[in-house]
Amino acid sequence: MTAQYFMPTRLDEALGVLADRPASILAGGTDYYPARGRQPEPRDLLDISRVEGLRGIRALPDGNGWHIGAATTWSDIAAADLPSAFAGLQSAAREVGSRQIQNTGTVAGNLCNASPAADGVPPLLTLDAQVEIGRAGGTRRLALGEFITGVRQTALAPDEMVIALHIPSPADRAASAFHKLGARKYLVISITMTAALVSLDANGRIAAARVAVGACSPVAQRLHALEADVIGKRGDEITVTPDHLSCLSPITDMRADSAYRADVVAEQAKRVLQQAVAAHG
């Protein structure tokens, strides 16, 4: 067994490990072990779960948005006291796998695993999340939509790791929702999922909306056309047309066929928008 296990407590040490060698990064480990199966691990392992400052979600001072550390677990998200704009993300947190998975699986790991069906991506897209990437000697930021480049592909270089997600301050009283459609209640990979974040005007009409869909394209997509069309509408006036979904390219797999996905995602987008509207009370 040649591999080594690194469990640094400081970020610069972690980045130093990556600068020195190719390593498999373990945050939660919930995707790592299933992907490996019984194959031996040829690379060194970098466990970032104990790096100081990498865990937790907090508001940055002076309204500069929110910071989600790369080792923040889904349970951390679910348990945090957050504004209503995060309700969709928190709902996704409670639907990831199971309690066991939520206790170890991380938000950043969900992005890095880059599954088309990653539960975290649609709500984070509606929150306009930015991904902070670190390497020895520097950091850079990418919009989440640019960070995930394809199925199981990200913009991470071998010597880089995700350090944090940054969420710009959502509009006051913005509310959000997340719907996941699967063939059973728990431990289920989404057939389709949709997140929405909505602000209303004084008349209860939609003033701003962001909608994102997962599991219907190689990378989860914002539905910009739908977002534009719902402006000025009440919840019961929302309709979703095929044109709104033209950026999607659902596939046929074990869970459902492409026609089904294309069909139900319209309904799902409508329902999730209506729930986000209704959340304003």
Residues that bind another protein (CB under 8 A): 1, 3-10, 13, 26, 28-30, 32-34, 36-41, 44-45, 47, 49, 75, 94, 97-101, 103-104, 181, 183-189, 191, 254-257, 259-260, 263-264, 267-268
Yes or no: say if 130 and 141 are a contact pair by the CB < 8 Å rule: yes
Q: Considering beta carbons, is residue 153 or 239 the nearer one to another protein? A: 239
Identify which of 161, 170, 174 has the alpha carbon closest to the alpha carbon of residue 279.
174
Distance of CA 165 to the CA centre of its chain: 10
Reduce the secondary structure of 164-179 to three states and give it as a string.
EEEECCCCCCCEEEEE
Q: In angstroms, what is the minimal distance from the CB of 116 to another protein?
A: 14
Yes or no: say if 193 and 119 are a contact pair by the CB < 8 Å rule: yes
Q: In angstroms, what is the minimal distance from the CB of 265 to another protein?
A: 10
Spatial distance between the Cα atoms of 66 and 44, rounded to a whole number of angstroms: 32
Identify which of 242, 196, 199, 247 has the alpha carbon closest to the alpha carbon of residue 220.
247
CA atoms within 13 A on the CB side of 221: 19
Q: Considering beta carbons, is residue 174 or 279 the nearer one to another protein? A: 279
Spatial distance between the Cα atoms of 238 and 240, rounded to a whole number of angstroms: 7
Q: Considering beta carbons, is residue 187 or 231 the nearer one to another protein? A: 187
Q: Could you tell me the CA-to-CA distances from 58 to 163, 186, 275 in Å, in that order?
A: 14, 28, 26
Q: Considering beta carbons, is residue 109 or 145 the nearer one to another protein? A: 109
Q: Considering beta carbons, is residue 33 or 158 the nearer one to another protein? A: 33
Q: In angstroms, what is the minimal distance from the CB of 9 to another protein?
A: 7
Q: In angstroms, what is the minimal distance from the CB of 145 to another protein?
A: 27
Spatial distance between the Cα atoms of 110 and 166, rounded to a whole number of angstroms: 15
Spatial distance between the Cα atoms of 263 and 261, rounded to a whole number of angstroms: 5
Q: In angstroms, what is the minimal distance from the CB of 241 to another protein?
A: 14
Q: Considering beta carbons, is residue 157 or 259 the nearer one to another protein? A: 259
Q: In angstroms, what is the minimal distance from the CB of 60 to another protein?
A: 27
Q: Considering beta carbons, is residue 167 or 273 the nearer one to another protein? A: 273
Q: In angstroms, what is the minimal distance from the CB of 22 to another protein?
A: 15
